[in-house]
Structure 1
């Protein structure tokens, strides 16, 4: 799927999620694009998991086990991980927002006054092990004009 199709497919759900949860639509789509390879990753195709959210001990939904690359002790390594599996992309978007809202480590994100600041706060809170994660998310937001979806309320 190309970026335009992916953005169109997620825009309505991302904007609705933003209104309900204060997670900027631009963040939702940029993270989903980055984490899922524009919807083409095996995790997305088999589990509708757009965000690479792992299944922790509190997760009560379906799961699947797949390898992932993690940046550990200064190098990339491949490790198996247990992932959340969703019935649809909408369910993945809804859970992503709920995951961020209920997890105290992401509280600072919700006091940010822009989507780029939200992305930086996410990375600082440890959302991903990639040291360039925030820059990648912000780059996607700018390159694909995703900030326009936030309607000035990012």
Structure 2
């Protein structure tokens, strides 16, 4: 049998859609099937066998994103607050200290934002649908098939 499948799976999809184009007999004769759909043993359209929802990667990514977010917050905690107290009163931070804290806070914010955007793309991963060799299926006949007689190999 010659056919094609729809490779673009969407989030929540659990079946692979198949359309059959041609049935080839061992003696090299063939019948055109013109896109007849494939069905499972129960008659449901498409094939459903093994599904990998990528739960481990999704929740691992969420944990990593929360870690990046926490690091981003820690990187910005000390910004603009590192003056010193002494017996003579409060001494504001020097302009060098303020510049360093501003640079550190800005860098941690930008790196955190980039990391979260990169990881967000991985969280929207659709499931992987696997159909193993030997999967039993049916062809939904959607038009008349003319068979000359019983097949004799």
TM, length-normalised to structure 2: 0.20
Say which one has the larger Rg: 2
TM, length-normalised to structure 1: 0.20
Q: Which has the higher helix share?
A: 1
Q: Which has the higher contact order (CA 8 A, sep 6+)?
A: 2
Q: Which has the higher strand share?
A: 2
